[in-house]
Amino acid sequence: MNGAMTGRNTAETGEAARRLARDGRWCRPTASLAPGYVQTNLLVVPGEAADEFEDLCAANPRPLPLLERLPLGSSIPRRIAVGADLRTDLPLYRVFRNGTFIGERTDLLDVWPDDGCAFLLGCSFTFDSVLSDAGIPIRHREADRNVPMYRTHRPLVPAGRFGGTTVVSLRPVPARFVSLACALTEPLTQAHGGPLNVGEPLALGIADLSRPDYGDPPDVHPGDVPLFWACGVTAQQTAVAAQLRYTLTHAPGHMFVTDLRITETRAGA
């Protein structure tokens, strides 16, 4: 079995990661791919809802950091991934119709809408290598799992037909590294910035860490503190709740890897 299927990182750049997905050689979450490169969430909504969704992003920059909005009908990013195609360059996609989940697919070639507007939003996978380089263990990588993600009762500032609550991702961090993890991620505003919550899942409405709403159960070691970062799956959740004619997204954890370097996501960059 080749490295792409076992979870071993075989892509050192964003372009190489996209090629693996496009060729069907990577069907797993992308957390371990292309360390140092920015990863993004994908959301495609009907054109009539696009301005309202962009307003939602502007009102909620922590969970919805907008990196690029594409022209109507386009699947080709203009700024952050040269030569990429959003219809083929992610490992796994989800399709919704009128708020109903239709299924998962490995490409969107025959369902990409002419009247759709695609958005690319920052992802916390972007900073996993920053934490790892500082000696902070990344439990979901170590366990070869997807990151755990949870719905919360933390409200979004609504915009038009969009509203709802924030989704968060969990990284259990040894207590001695908590302050460092917060300091390292806070400047990375295009990748959700610092944690929304440190060590208090009940304050977010999360009663059972072992049962995430998306992703895999966490691997928590003795002495770990749960840190919760805003998650771009918030976009998927709010779009589905709006019961749009269609919603196309990445499958949680199966991100679009760009050509941007992590240093370009720092506040003020």
pLDDT average per 10 residues of sequence, the chain (269 residues): 42 93 94 93 98 98 97 96 95 98 97 98 94 96 93 98 98 98 96 97 97 96 98 96 98 96 66
Note whether residue 7 is domain-resident. no
Note whether residue 9 is domain-resident. no
Tell me the residue type at 256.
F
- Tell me, what's the pLDDT at 2? 33
Residue 46 belongs to what domain range? 17-124+239-262
Kind and range of the H or E run holding 150: strand 149-155
Q: Tell me, yes or no, whether 149 and 219 share the same domain.
A: yes
Q: How many domains does the chain have?
A: 2
Q: Tell me, yes or no, whether 113 and 149 share the same domain.
A: no
Q: How far apart are CA 148 and CA 114, in angstroms?
A: 34
Q: Tell me, yes or no, whether 88 and 212 share the same domain.
A: no
Q: How far apart are CA 233 and CA 241, in angstroms?
A: 12
Note whether residue 2 is domain-resident. no
Q: What is the CATH number of the domain that holds 102?
A: 3.40.1640.10
Its sign, for the CA torsion 68, 131, 173, 268, is negative
- Tell me, what's the pLDDT at 174? 98
Q: Tell me, yes or no, whether 52 and 82 share the same domain.
A: yes
Give start and end residues of each alpha helix (H) in 27-94.
50-59
Note whether residue 11 is domain-resident. no
Note whether residue 4 is domain-resident. no
- Tell me, what's the pLDDT at 224? 97
Its sign, for the CA torsion 44, 108, 143, 25, is negative
Q: Tell me, yes or no, whether 70 and 119 share the same domain.
A: yes
- Tell me, what's the pLDDT at 180? 98
Give start and end residues of each alpha helix (H) in 7-100.
14-22, 50-59
- The structure tokens listed for 58 are 């502007």
Q: What is the CATH number of the domain that holds 228?
A: 3.30.2040.10
- Tell me, what's the pLDDT at 227? 98
Residue 145, SS3?
Answer: coil
